[in-house]
Chain A
Amino acid sequence: MRIVVEKRDNKSKSAAVLIPLASFAISLILGAIVLLASRSNPLQAYSAMLDGAFGNARRFQYTIVESIPLLMCGLGVGVAFRLKFWNIGAEGQYVWGAIGITWVMQFWKFLPVPMLLPIGLLVGMTLGAVWAGVPGYLKAQWSVDETLTTLMLNYVAIGLAEYLYISAWKAPLGNMGTPEFPHEAWLPPVWGKIHSGLYIALAFVVLLWFLLYKTRWGFELNMIGKNPRAARYQGVSIKRNIVLAMLLSGAICGLAGSMNTAAIAHRLTKGVDGGYGFTGIIIAWMAGLNPFASILVAIVMAALTTGADALQIAMKLPESMGEVLQGLVLIPLLAGSIFVEHKLKVIKKEAA
């Protein structure tokens, strides 16, 4: 008897729902093994995580706040991924967004204070777009591999941000971080900790859904992503669309960075490279590049982070245990995704 993997004849709708659920169950079991090995009760640990993520209004708000930049970055990279353009530079584009809004807040003194926030968000968006547009152009014009350029440009952006908050733009007091933005220019809250960035993120979900599924441009991106040669034969410009998609992708990631800076830290400081851009890649992928599905995935990912914090406090487990559990959730989910298109078949050897 042996087991083979076969392609499914048609995509199964129920498999698309059941497989992620089964994968999640498997990851809980794997996590339980690790927890048992570190002499903790898995059930207690999981309920502590759940409680930490959604246990009361304040924790729920934290989870939502955490999910906003994740959702934005997921949406951003998702645009580029539609073209099979592997933008793994969302982190750098996010950091540029943060730098952009800080620049406006700190140096554009000629602006009236109420204008600082909208202009700051726009500048952050623009810088993110430019930072993504460069690898886009290099790819379109000279076929420079985008995985390398986008990845490397992350480190340039992060290094520049460090230089700015440690040295060039540092506030006179304290040893790290730029001066705090004026209170009037903070992103206003809507419910407790939750800030109005939530509305912007949800607006982008709808906007992108419309753009990608309803417009001629979305149709063209779909063609290029699925068969660039045929798209070119149909008169679709691949170069132009790669650059456009990257500009949009970077703009959304940049906006995520400027929004989060104006809402949480209110200045450029350590921790600006919080990994949202990298987690965004996972979100886009797990959501199947669907903007609406990204909302759910972003909340799950955020809950894993906030829940892991609670794990530390309630269970006295080391900080890294949270990361271990996050990793254990991802692997079965990503590995399980092949079974949406494939199936296992058991073959019994017949007597010859």
Chain B
Amino acid sequence: MNQQTPQIPVVRMEHITKHFPGVLANDDVSLELYPGQVLALLGENGAGKSTLMNMLVGLYRPDGGSIYIRGELADIHSPQDSMALGVGMIHQEFMLVGNMTVAENIVLGMRDLPFVPKIDEIRARITELSKRYGLQVDPDAVIHDLSVGEQQRVEILKLVYRGADILILDEPTAVLTPGESRDLNKIIKKMLSEGKSAIFITHKMDEVIEFSHKVQVLRKGKTVNTCDTAGVTPQDLANMMVGRDILFSLDRCAYNPGGVKLKVDHVTVVNPIGSRPFLDDVSLEIHRGEIIGIAGVAGNGQTQLTEAITGLLHCTSGKILIDGKDMTNSTPLQVIRAGVSHIPADRGANGVVGDMSVGDNLAMKKYRTSEISRGAVIKRSFLRAFADKLIEAFVIKTPDQDTCVKFLSGGNIQKTILAREIDSCGGVLIAVYPSRGLDVGATEAVRQNLILQRDKGNAVLLVSEELDELQMVADKIAVMFEGRIMGIRDVKETNTEELGMMMAGAAGVRRNA
């Protein structure tokens, strides 16, 4: 906090304005960051946090306003320019080359690199920096083989290696386990003690309180409030962010499961390039009117489980039954026809076609049906009416249905997928990290929709990394570790400690054993 008031801010953004077609992304936003400080930038999706930061690192140019770095007017045209000023950003999607090593990734693209780089010196420097900040990574490891948390450390190292002392982190904890988040917090504290400073984009209230000294709340491109973190409550922040009161618990019908809808019976999926299988003898039953949550650290077979069910991944052995009918190794289309809807992880890559319109994306399941087509021909008028109906029902914020999906905010892209999948759902809904990276409002909408599907008698499989979410939404929680199910617990009969132990690989632990 402002220990010495006359200090010059390391970053000062004044009256920044940025237009995009149809939206005013930033409207006269000003910001100050002091050395040794963490500023949390809080806001819903589409509030303009990432846009503001992208201007600071030269990915976008502001339409109006000016940026000062250490008191001097800065003219930033590219990430190289900002890097030269010591400002570096870690994006939500990591910018790493998967089949190159950590060391190669760290120096990749550095301009002053000699034609033949001295790899030993680079390695020594990386090792020194990782010791100094507690960023343990093996410089010779290949990115592919690293966990998401480790990849993030590589991204941080990349910036530190290049001499960044102002770090911008865009939702850094969205992909981390609770343990990894705590490590990240330690790393950042260490850096602050050396006079570095950080801006932290987030929409998680508890993180603001845990990590930051000051918090600036954005809503619809404008600054709503800037205050010291000490003394604010999560509820205050949530209200500032959304502009209304948020429900922290959700209404639902009593748990009253029907018959078995989806059965996964001793399914094994071998990994052609790894030593341990993706799925190792996994068995699971989901009843009608039930939400089964899958907990676990990312990369322990959760996505593979959903892909095996949806026909996207070949099962080596075992069976998958829907309504008692053998659907093992069916094509994705057959599984869709059997009534399975899928909200995939990585929505931008798997869930939508970014260069197609919102309307087309909404129709990507139903275009095969008479609701949109007559025989082989798509009726545009039917498609338009269908899309308008879903846009209204799911409150998708878009200028119109002809806008390309890639121009929507993350929350509205997810709502587009949610609308399509729920509309076409025929009994089973599979949702993989559906609220990842979403703001409070959108997260609430996603969760309520999942519960609504359960209450309607559908079988819901929810994969999540957030235990809070699973405990709030699911009826039963299965924990996955290294491709196996460590145990299935009734939500009411378990607690965070037990689930956490199982996530770490301790099978069959009982509470207070």
Q: Determine the chain B residues whose CB is within 8 A of the CB of A134 once the complex forms.
A: none
Is B75's CB under 8 angstroms from A234's CB?
Answer: no
Is B21's CB under 8 angstroms from A230's CB?
Answer: no
Q: Tell me which residues from 144 to 184 in chain B have a Cβ below 8 Å from any Cβ of chain A.
A: none
> How far in angstroms is the closest Cβ of chain A from B377?
5
> How far in angstroms is the closest Cβ of chain A from B375?
9
Q: What's the Cα separation between A233 and B421 when bound, in Å?
A: 11
Asked if A219 CB lies within 8 Å of chain B CBs, one says yes
Could you say which of B344, B350, B356, B368 contacts A222, with CB atoms under 8 Å apart? B356
Asked if A223 CB lies within 8 Å of chain B CBs, one says yes
Interface string of B314-348 (1 = CB under 8 A from A): 00000000000000000111011100001010000
Known: A215-B378, A219-B378, A350-B75. A231 touches B367 (CB 8 A): no
Is B377's CB under 8 angstroms from A347's CB?
Answer: no
Q: Tell me which residues from 51 to 81 in chain B have a Cβ below 8 Å from any Cβ of chain A.
A: 61, 72-73, 75, 77
Is B349's CB under 8 angstroms from A230's CB?
Answer: yes
Could you say which of A214, A229, A234, A350 contacts B377, with CB atoms under 8 Å apart? A214
Q: Tell me which residues from 33 to 61 in chain B have a Cβ below 8 Å from any Cβ of chain A.
A: 61
Interface string of B366-396 (1 = CB under 8 A from A): 0110000100111000000000000000000
Known: A215-B377, A349-B75. A233 touches B365 (CB 8 A): no
B407 closest partner in A (C-beta): A10
Q: Determine the chain B residues whose CB is within 8 A of the CB of A236 once the complex forms.
A: 333
Asked if A227 CB lies within 8 Å of chain B CBs, one says yes
Could you say which of A4, A215, A226 contacts B77, with CB atoms under 8 Å apart? A4
Asked if A343 CB lies within 8 Å of chain B CBs, one says no
Q: Tell me which residues from 330 to 352 in chain A have a Cβ below 8 Å from any Cβ of chain B.
A: 347, 349-350, 352
Q: What's the Cα separation between A250 and B342 when bound, in Å?
A: 36
Is A216's CB under 8 angstroms from B368's CB?
Answer: yes
B363 closest partner in A (C-beta): A219
Asked if A47 CB lies within 8 Å of chain B CBs, one says no
Is A227's CB under 8 angstroms from B355's CB?
Answer: yes
> How far in angstroms is the closest Cβ of chain A from B502?
29
Q: Determine the chain A residues whose CB is within 8 A of the CB of B373 once the complex forms.
A: 216
Is A226's CB under 8 angstroms from B377's CB?
Answer: no
Is A230's CB under 8 angstroms from B355's CB?
Answer: no
Q: Determine the chain B residues whose CB is within 8 A of the CB of A350 once the complex forms.
A: 73, 75
Is A234's CB under 8 angstroms from B331's CB?
Answer: no
Is B356's CB under 8 angstroms from A234's CB?
Answer: no
Is B75's CB under 8 angstroms from A230's CB?
Answer: no
Q: What's the Cα separation between A227 and B353 when bound, in Å?
A: 5
Asked if B277 CB lies within 8 Å of chain A CBs, one says no
Is B354's CB under 8 angstroms from A226's CB?
Answer: yes
Interface string of B425-450 (1 = CB under 8 A from A): 00000000000000000000000000
Q: Determine the chain A residues whose CB is within 8 A of the CB of B344 once the complex forms.
A: 233
Q: Tell me which residues from 223 to 256 in chain A have a Cβ below 8 Å from any Cβ of chain B.
A: 223, 226-227, 229-237
Q: What's the Cα separation between A236 and B77 when bound, in Å?
A: 41
Q: Determine the chain A residues whose CB is within 8 A of the CB of B355 once the complex forms.
A: 226-227
A214 closest partner in B (C-beta): B377
Chain B: interface size category: 35 or more
A223 closest partner in B (C-beta): B353
Asked if A199 CB lies within 8 Å of chain B CBs, one says no
Asked if B352 CB lies within 8 Å of chain A CBs, one says yes
Is A347's CB under 8 angstroms from B77's CB?
Answer: yes
Is A216's CB under 8 angstroms from B20's CB?
Answer: no
Asked if A217 CB lies within 8 Å of chain B CBs, one says yes
Asked if B465 CB lies within 8 Å of chain A CBs, one says no
Could you say which of A4, A216, A230 contacts B378, with CB atoms under 8 Å apart? A216
Could you say which of B350, B351, B367 contacts A219, with CB atoms under 8 Å apart? B367
Interface string of A1-32 (1 = CB under 8 A from B): 00010100110000000000000000000000
Known: A10-B21, A214-B378. A231 touches B353 (CB 8 A): yes
Asked if B137 CB lies within 8 Å of chain A CBs, one says no
Q: Determine the chain A residues whose CB is within 8 A of the CB of B284 once the complex forms.
A: none
Q: Determine the chain A residues whose CB is within 8 A of the CB of B376 once the complex forms.
A: 215-217
Asked if B312 CB lies within 8 Å of chain A CBs, one says yes
Q: What's the Cα separation between A319 and B207 when bound, in Å?
A: 73
Asked if B364 CB lies within 8 Å of chain A CBs, one says yes
Is A234's CB under 8 angstroms from B73's CB?
Answer: no
Q: Determine the chain A residues whose CB is within 8 A of the CB of B104 once the complex forms.
A: none
Known: A223-B364, A227-B354, A227-B355. A233 touches B333 (CB 8 A): no
Q: Determine the chain A residues whose CB is within 8 A of the CB of B21 once the complex forms.
A: 9-10
Is B360's CB under 8 angstroms from A234's CB?
Answer: no
Q: What's the Cα separation between A321 and B356 when bound, in Å?
A: 43
Q: What's the Cα separation between A233 and B378 when bound, in Å?
A: 20
> How far in angstroms is the closest Cβ of chain B from A87?
21
Is B353's CB under 8 angstroms from A226's CB?
Answer: yes
Known: A226-B353, A227-B353, A227-B354. A232 touches B332 (CB 8 A): yes
Known: A216-B376, A219-B367. A235 touches B336 (CB 8 A): yes
Q: What's the Cα separation between A232 and B364 when bound, in Å?
A: 11
Q: Determine the chain A residues whose CB is within 8 A of the CB of B333 once the complex forms.
A: 235-237
Q: What's the Cα separation between A214 and B380 when bound, in Å?
A: 8
A217 closest partner in B (C-beta): B376
B72, B75, B377: most-surrounded residue (chain A CB, <10 A): B377
Is B350's CB under 8 angstroms from A233's CB?
Answer: yes
> How far in angstroms is the closest Cβ of chain A from B358?
14
> How far in angstroms is the closest Cβ of chain B from A62?
39
Q: Determine the chain A residues whose CB is within 8 A of the CB of B332 once the complex forms.
A: 232-235
Q: What's the Cα separation between A101 and B353 when bound, in Å?
A: 42
Q: What's the Cα separation between A75 and B296 when bound, in Å?
A: 51
Q: What's the Cα separation between A347 and B351 when bound, in Å?
A: 39
Is B350's CB under 8 angstroms from A230's CB?
Answer: yes
Q: What's the Cα separation between A127 and B360 when bound, in Å?
A: 36
Q: Determine the chain A residues whose CB is within 8 A of the CB of B350 once the complex forms.
A: 229-230, 233
A9 closest partner in B (C-beta): B21
Is B73's CB under 8 angstroms from A233's CB?
Answer: no
Is B360's CB under 8 angstroms from A219's CB?
Answer: yes
Q: What's the Cα separation between A73 and B187 when bound, in Å?
A: 60
Q: What's the Cα separation between A233 and B306 when bound, in Å?
A: 11
CB pairs A–B below 8 angstroms (8 shown): A9-B21, A223-B353, A227-B353, A232-B312, A234-B365, A235-B331, A235-B365, A352-B73
Given contacts A229-B349, A347-B77, 13 further A-B contacts (CB under 8 A): A215-B378, A216-B368, A216-B373, A219-B360, A223-B353, A227-B349, A227-B353, A229-B350, A230-B350, A230-B352, A232-B312, A233-B310, A234-B365
Interface residues of A (CB under 8 A from B): 4, 6, 9-10, 214-217, 219, 222-223, 226-227, 229-237, 347, 349-350, 352
Interface residues of B (CB under 8 A from A): 19-21, 61, 72-73, 75, 77, 310, 312, 331-333, 335-337, 342, 344, 349-356, 360, 364-365, 367-368, 373, 376-378
List the 4 closest pairs (A to B, CB-CB), nearest first: A235-B333, A227-B353, A235-B336, A10-B21
